[in-house]
Structure formats: C-alpha cells, structure tokens
Amino acid sequence: NKESRSSRGALIVLEGLDRCGKTTQSGRLYKYLEEQGHSVESWRFPDRNTGVGQMISSYLANKSQLDDHAIHLLFSANRWEKRSLMEEKLKSGTTLIVDRYSYSGVAFSSAKGLDIGWCTAPEIGLLAPDLVVYLDISHEKAAERGGYGDERYEQLEFQKKVAGSYLALRDSSWKVIDATLSIEDIEKKLREVVLDCMMTCHKGKPLSQLWL
Ligand code: NYM
C-alpha cells in the first residue's frame, strides 16, 4: 500500500566495548525482525569485505602498521564507501542493524590520544543513526568473558580508555542497556527500544546527518 511504500527503514546502531555482546545481540535482533516480516539487514563496521576494509583488517591483525591518523581515516572511509547504499536501503524501507559505527571510530581513536574534534570531523555528513544502543559493561567484566582475542585494541588498559571515551560521547538520546544481564533479558530490552524507534521512522521521522 501507499503508506508502507513511502515509509523508511530505521538506522539502528549498537555500540560498546569489545566483548560486550553486540554481535550476539545484532544477530538475535536481526533474526527476530526478519521472522516478524520486517525488511531488515545486518551490517557491521569495519566492513572487511572492501579494499579499505582489507587494509583495516590487516592493521587490526597486526600484519601492518599505520599512523594513528591514517587508520582513523580508513575506518571513516569505510563508512563513507557504504553511505549511498545505506541511504538507498533506508529509503526503500529496509531497517539496518549496524554493529559499530562512527562512535566506535571516535571512541577508539580518541582513546589513543587523538583530539576528539579531529576524530569527529571526517564523520560529518554520514547518516545519523535513529537509535544508538550502548551495551554497557565494565572493561574488567568484558575481559572475563573468555578473554580477548589477538587483535589490536583488545587489551584491558586500552579498553578502559575506550570506555572513558564512550562516556564522553554518550548523550541523553542513547539507550543504555546493562550488558551483564542475561542474553534473553538484553534481547527483550533491545527489541522494545528498536520497535519503538522503527515506529517513529515509519511515521515519517526524516533522515538526518552526523555530526550535529
Ligand atoms: N574500531 C571499529 C575502530 O577502532 N574504529 C572504528 O571506526 C570501528 C568501526 O575495530 N576493536 C575497532 C573496534 C574493534 C575493532 O571491530 C574491530 P569488530 O567489531 O571486532 O569487528
């Protein structure tokens, strides 16, 4: 019908420290929404499938070295190269669940000591999420979850700094969910805020841009 053709999808972003459970929750949310008959896709950044994504992947695996500014801009470029497709999907009514976005970019790079304003600049003009969900866990608790992998950044002291950066970035519009709850409880809370957001978008909330 006319209404559903003109209504857009929602841009949902999940953020949090490494091992906070984002990937598990994105997967479960995706499955749920799909089963409910929504048009939905599961995305993640970095998107390691592109040329830029492969450079990022090699950096994260410690197989290449890059200046902190250079890798920051690659992460940002990786979002820019997906921007038009993202807009197309949203406008055609598909909801996107995105595992990490610009906030990861700013939080991880500023945790290395880069200026926040400098980190934010290349993100200006990307699509603004309709909802940011922060899965909240302390760096100590996250580290207890089977330990970190071998990737760059997956270290206790660094994650502590990242947590501080996220705290500085958070605003009142973010939905913060306690990531130490059971998988099912988190899933339930997540569904609530997401369905609510999808409804708002469906009713005609316009798409907007970062970083305002
Ligand atoms: N990361 C992720 C950044 O440093 N900047 C970014 O812009 C993004 C999207 O990459 N430790 C970091 C956070 C993670 C790492 O992400 C890889 P994942 O979700 O483990 O694939």
Print burial letters for 42-76: b (CB count within 10 Å at least 16), e (below 16). bbebbbeeeebbebbbebbeeeeeeeeeebbbbbb
* pTM, 2 dp: 0.96
Which own/partner contact pairs does 138-142 have at CB distance under 8 Å and 24+ positions apart? 138/163, 139/17, 139/163, 141/180, 142/17, 142/18, 142/19, 142/20
Contact 134, 177 (CB under 8 A): yes
Torsions phi, psi for 191 (to 5 deg) = -55, -45
- Residue 16 reports pLDDT greater than 90: yes
Please give the distance, rounded to the nearest whole angstrom, from the Cα atom of residue 56 to the centre of ligand 1: 9
Ligand 1 binding pocket includes 158 (Cβ within 6 Å): no
Closest ligand 1 atom number to CA of residue 23:
19
- Nearest by Cα to 153 from 139, 133, 141: 139
The pLDDT, as a whole number, for residue 212 is 72
User: 196: which 2 tokens?
Assistant: 């609510």
Tell me the ipTM for this assembly.
Answer: 0.99
Tell me which DSSP letter residue 123 carries: G
- Give pLDDT tens digits for 41-69: 999 999 999 999 999 999 999 999 999 99
As a whole number, mean pLDDT of residues 188-212 equals 96
Please give the distance, rounded to the nearest whole angstrom, from the Cα atom of residue 17 to the centre of ligand 1: 9
Name the one residue in this structure whose structure tokens are 């899933």. 187
Ligand 1 binding pocket includes 46 (Cβ within 6 Å): yes
- Give pLDDT tens digits for 106-155: 999 999 999 999 999 999 999 999 999 999 999 999 999 977 888 999 99
Paired residues of 42 in beta bridges: 97
- Nearest by Cα to 110 from 149, 153, 55, 58: 153
Name the one residue in this structure whose structure tokens are 């089977």. 146
Contact 106, 120 (CB under 8 A): yes
The residues, ordered by sequence, that sit 6+ positions from 114 with a Cβ below 8 Å of its Cβ are 68, 69, 72
- Residue 1 reports pLDDT greater than 70: no
Single-letter amino acid code for the residue at 68: D
- Give pLDDT tens digits for 18-39: 999 999 999 999 999 999 999 9
Ligand 1 binding pocket includes 75 (Cβ within 6 Å): yes
Residue in 19, 108, 112, 169 to alter for ligand 1 test, most ligand atoms within 8 A of Cβ: 108
